[in-house]
Structures are given as structure tokens and as C-alpha cells.
Amino acid sequence: MRLKNKSALITGGTSGIGLATAKLFIAEGARVAVTGRDVAAFERVKAELGENALVLKGDVRSIEDMKAIAAEVKEKFGGLDVVFANAGRAFPSAVNDIDEDLYNEIMDINVKGVVFTLQAVLPDLREGSSVILNTSFVAQTGKHGISLTAAAKAAVRSLARSWSYEFLDRKIRFNAIAPGAMDTPLISKWGMSDEWVRDRKAEFAKAVPVGHMGKAEDIAYAALYLASDESSYVVGTELVVDGGASQL
């Protein structure tokens, strides 16, 4: 029970990494609010997470949505000890394919969403709380065809450093987790065929030194460490969980 009596908010907690993390946090004693946009998934998510979960609708790109979510979490939980700013998406973005819409889509979900999630919940963060930002292994090295997503995640990694400084007086810790190629629904949302998705996953697996893609739970365990008091001396860092992809 490493999160006993703690309250957490996980954006993008209705699928993949966010959902696995919500399950683990609840198993460790936390009450958890998760957010997503696709209400069709909400009943299933509520059933999976149980009575210690709130499932809230909101788009991280909307400042109004994030304010409304913060207000509801405040009303139900009273305050927050952990925030996992996890909602985000990766888009293939070879430089010639980038138009203004794609630029805005990538930056708004991955950067604007994190900034205004934090701003909305700031007044409700208790002293000693932990904020975890989800970055990506694609920002650790150069990667072909995904430059803008990598740049957005590099910006988020930078925020973890700067915000750590800004909130030292409130003893709020900021850290990032950089997942590697994780086997989640993320790439199935690119609108490609099942066969294409299967082939890409096989390619990703081959490119990882340990020989397979990661599981959402691999990131959930890293988030649990950063959320718990066991990491109280860990500030402003980025924990890379990528099967060695960017390190070996």
C-alpha cells in the first residue's frame, strides 16, 4: 500500500499506460481520477477500475475542460498528491508532411495539454506531492520520421526540470518517464490496417535490445516509484523505460 490515502489524477487514463497506472495506483491504496475523451469507453473503464476511481471526460487541449476536471477532482478528493500528465499521442511527421494542422495537433496534445493540466490543478496540489510527465524515448536520440513528436516530448522533458525549480518551496516534485516502444492501443489509432499495425509492432520489437515491446505495466511500475515517497529525493529527472532502445 505505497499510495495509501493518496489522491491521484491521471490524464489519458482510459487506455494503455494511463489505465494500467490507474489500476496499479488503486491496488496500492490510492483514489484515482482518470480522464479521456471517448465516453464510449467509460463504462468499461469504470468497471475495470472499481469504486476508488472517478472517470472524467475532458480534452487536455481545452483549458476549460481541464479547469472543470480540476474542480470536480477538488470537490470529490479535496486535493491531490499525485498527477500523471500522461495524455498524449505520437504522430509520424516526416518534415515534408508537416502542415499547420498537424503541427497544432502534435503540439497541443503533447505540450499545451501538459502545461494547462498543471496550471488547472496547481492550487489543489498538496505539499510534498509528485507530478510525473510522460515523455518518450523518441526524444532521447534522433529518429527518422517522427521529428515533431520528438520535439514536443523534448519540450515536456524540459518542463519537468524548470517546474521542479519553480515549486521547490511547495515541495512539489516533478519528474518525467520516457517510455520506449510499448504495446498499447496507441498506433492502432493511426487509421492503418490491422496487418500494417502487426508489421510495425514486429519491426519495433526487433529494434529493441531486449527483443520485445514493453507493456503498459512496465511504465505503471515506474510511475508508482515516482509517485510514492520512496522517490522523495528524485527531482527533475527522466526515467527511461525502453528496453535499452536509447541507451545501448
Q: Under the criterion CB under 6 A, does residue 229 sit at the interface with ligand NAP?
A: no
CA distance linking residue 2 with residue 225, whole number of Å: 9
Q: Under the criterion CB under 6 A, does residue 93 sit at the interface with ligand NAP?
A: no
Locus of grid cell 517510455 = 179
Tell me if 100 sits within 8 A of 148, measured CB to CB: no
Q: Near ligand NAP by CB under 6 A, which window of 96-104, 119-127, 139-147, 175-183?
A: 175-183
How far, rounded to the nearest angstrom, does the alpha carbon of residue 66 sit from its chain's CA centroid? 15
CA distance linking residue 130 with residue 167, whole number of Å: 11
Q: Which of 21, 59, 167, 176 binds ligand NAP (CB under 6 A)?
A: 59
Tell me if 135 sits within 8 A of 176, measured CB to CB: yes
Q: Near ligand NAP by CB under 6 A, which window of 9-17, 48-56, 73-81, 223-231?
A: 9-17
CA distance linking residue 43 with residue 26, whole number of Å: 17
Tell me the per-residue interface mask from 105 to 134 with ligand NAP, x by CB under 6 A, - otherwise: ----x------------------------x
Kindly state the smallest distance separating residue 138's Cβ from ligand NAP, in Å: 7
User: What are residue 131's DSSP bridge partners?
Assistant: 83, 174
Q: Which of 86, 93, 117, 140 binds ligand NAP (CB under 6 A)?
A: 86
Q: Under the criterion CB under 6 A, does residue 243 sit at the interface with ligand NAP?
A: no
* CA dihedral for 63, 83, 11, 5, sign (positive or negative): negative
Q: Which is nearer to ligand NAP, 60 or 73 (CB)?
A: 60
Amino acid identity of residue 111, one-letter, is: V
Q: Under the criterion CB under 6 A, does residue 36 sit at the interface with ligand NAP?
A: yes
Kindly state the smallest distance separating residue 45's Cβ from ligand NAP, in Å: 9
Q: Under the criterion CB under 6 A, does residue 61 sit at the interface with ligand NAP?
A: yes
Q: Under the criterion CB under 6 A, does residue 88 sit at the interface with ligand NAP?
A: yes
Q: Which is nearer to ligand NAP, 34 or 172 (CB)?
A: 34
Question: And the C-alpha cell for 145?
Answer: 520520421
**CA nearest to 131, candidates 73, 177, 77:** 177
**CA nearest to 129, candidates 20, 9, 29, 1:** 9
Query: Which residues bind to ligand NAP, rule: CB under 6 A?
Result: 11-18, 35-38, 59-61, 86-90, 109, 134, 136, 179, 181-182, 184-186, 189
